[in-house]
Amino acid sequence: MRQYLSGFFLCLAVSLAAAQEREATRRPFDFGLKGGLNISSLGGNDSQIGSAKAGFHAGAYLITFLSERVSLQPELVYSQQGFQLTGQFPARFNHNYLNLPILFRIEVGPGATVQLGPQVGYFLNRDDFGGYKQIDFGLALGVGYALENGLNLTARYNLGFANVTESISNQVPSRTNRVFQLSLGYTFHKMD
């Protein structure tokens, strides 16, 4: 896991250093806040466990411009994830994560972006739910649209790669987080 985190932060440092070489006329970065709806579930190599549940997310982001159409967007986001069981014993499992996605954003049209990058998550309520690992990692893929006044809308799918369940035997199937997010945000444009 340390190798993943080291590589993750090395990529971030190299990208931020490269951003320093862009045109002087371009603003260096923008800062923003976001929040919205989560639809989450746990999937695995045998099937989805339970059914999807609604939750929310809220956080902050920084947009660092690498070129006219490409930027890097690290975020720090609280995310309520989990799943629900229905039937004879209904239950909702709220798994609270602090996620750090680092997204490459490509502007594909005026205000429209495609976003892709790695994400690392820290499970905040591990003490409440035994049998879950502390660290999650995966891939975030999304699209966004921003207005000139700073308002923006983003749709994103976060696909977990890490098995988030702890197992004392090989009989417990692998489980990964799957989260669809719909966000409303506001970007504070830094003035030069």
**Tens digit of each residue's pLDDT (9 = 90 or more) over 6-63:** 556 555 555 555 544 444 345 688 999 999 999 998 887 655 567 889 999 999 999 9
Distances (CA, A) of 44 to 2, 48, 126, 150, 180: 24, 6, 20, 38, 16
What pLDDT shows up at residue 19?
47
Task: Give 185's DSSP letter.
Answer: E
What lies within 8 Å, CB to CB, of 125 at 6+ separation is 94, 95, 96
**Rounded (10°) CA dihedral 58, 159, 64, 75:** 30
**Is residue 165 very low, low, confident or very high in pLDDT (cuts 50, 70, 90)?**
confident
Instruction: Please give the Cα distance from 110 to 69 (Å, whole number).
Output: 10
Q: Report the percent of the chain where pLDDT is more than 70.
A: 76
What pLDDT shows up at residue 110?
95
CA angle 183, 116, 25 (to 5 degrees): 90
Which two tokens mark 23? 């045109």
* Domain count for the chain: 1
Instruction: Please give the Cα distance from 131 to 128 (Å, whole number).
Output: 10
For the domain that residue 103 is a member of, what is the CATH number? 2.40.160.20
- Over residues 72-82, mean pLDDT: 96
What pLDDT shows up at residue 80?
95
Range of the domain at 170: 2-189
Question: Model's pTM, two decimal places?
Answer: 0.79
What pLDDT shows up at residue 26?
57
Instruction: Please give the Cα distance from 39 to 20 (Å, whole number).
Output: 37
